[in-house]
Amino acid sequence: MLLQNKQVAIVGGGPGGLTLAKLLQLKGANVKVYERDLNKEARVQGSTLDLHDESGLAAIRKADLLNEFKNNFLPGADKTLILDENATVFFSDHETNREEDFGNEHFRPEIDRGALRKILLESLQPETVVWNRHFISMEKQNEGWLLHFKDSASVYADIVIASDGANSKIRPYITDSKAFYSGITMLEGNVYQSKDRTPYIHSLIDGGKIMAFGNAKNILLGQKGGGDLGFYVSFKTEEDWAVKIGLDFSDKTQIAEWFKKAYPEWSPVWYELFEKVTVPFIPRPIYCVPLDQTWEALPNLTMIGDAAHVMPPFAGEGANMAMLDALELSECLTADTFGTLQEAISFYETNMRERAAKAAQESLENGEKMHSKEALKTMLEFFAGE
């Protein structure tokens, strides 16, 4: 095996990094994951994930974790409502009979990010994840790399795999290619215990998702595990909107007033989200890597997930692509097909760039559709299969 007697360092403990660590350990590789979170109890933010049969679920099956996944996914969390700005329901599939049809390519079960992380963490060998390791830089040493962390000792690895997200500090060691701004910014908010705090919207969403469209803007909401609700106010604006607007994102009153002015046509129904939110809000300018990016493969360094191909979230492919990266890279690194690690990495990266470009293109196109004046009509036609 190409990884025999090699120490592998994965920087970043998200779904992609943890999946890769599990898959490599199943093949007998020596792996460490360096994660900046203080410990495993650090709260995992973000919406739930819907895993796709050909990518995220394929990796789960390969990792022998499908039973654990089935015990932790959120039945019914894929239920969808499409509303206009007045919260009028134009589409609902809540009455559709649902079956746990694992193996069906169209079945996309949802799982809370925290639950998925827990499944992956508990499947790893003890002390695989090294917590509180904030990556700063690295330098070549012998045939590998010396990694430097904030307030921690440096470590050596023969192979480094970047899984450190959209703002990856390792990506520049591989390519000068930079992500571009998509033109869309999302403002993320979270409501804890939404049943008590936002009762109307909680009853409306009923454990599923809401997509509301109006005036080339939208609000996307999803029920999380534990009774929490995550939502995103999504709109087209300048890249530096969060800086120029001069808002205190820790002040819910300021954000509520901004929403009323920026979304003047939207019903007061939505105001309870801003009144009961747990601050701070998080502004998220949405980026995408160039669709034609390329670089020459290195013999001891590569990347997966958002570090390699950050894209807009409007096709639901981010985490799925990261987990598929983990699956394909693990197979390349542990196969007998390649003569060298560089050949294995090159094969993986070529395929990864090609499929990521297709997913990114779809995400960009969906983002434009969802922020157009015809967004409601377009999305209704999509869900109707027209």
Domain with CATH 3.50.50.60 in the chain: 7-46+113-178+290-364
DSSP3 helix / strand / coil % (the chain, rounded to 5): 35, 25, 40
- Domain 7-46+113-178+290-364, architecture per CATH: 3-Layer(bba) Sandwich (3.50)
- Domain 180-288, architecture per CATH: 2-Layer Sandwich (3.30)
Q: Which mean pLDDT values do the consecutive 10-residue runs of the chain (386 residues) have?
A: 96 98 98 96 76 96 97 91 97 80 83 94 98 98 97 97 98 97 97 95 94 97 90 98 97 97 96 96 97 97 98 93 98 96 98 97 97 97 83
Binding residue per annotation — 306? yes
Binding residue per annotation — 164? no
Distances (CA, A) of 49 to 27, 29, 106, 205: 27, 28, 15, 17
Domain with CATH 3.30.9.30 in the chain: 180-288
pLDDT of residue 301: 98
Binding residue per annotation — 113? yes
Binding residue per annotation — 98? no
DSSP H or E run through 373? none
The closest alpha carbon to 231, from 192, 200, 273, 260, belongs to 273
pLDDT of residue 240: 98
Whole-angstrom Cα Rg for the chain: 21
pLDDT of residue 46: 64
| pTM score | 0.95
Q: Taking the CB of residue 191, how many other CB atoms lie within 10 A of it?
A: 25
pLDDT of residue 141: 97
Q: Which residues contact 272 (CB under 8 A, 6 or more apart)?
A: 197, 198, 200, 201
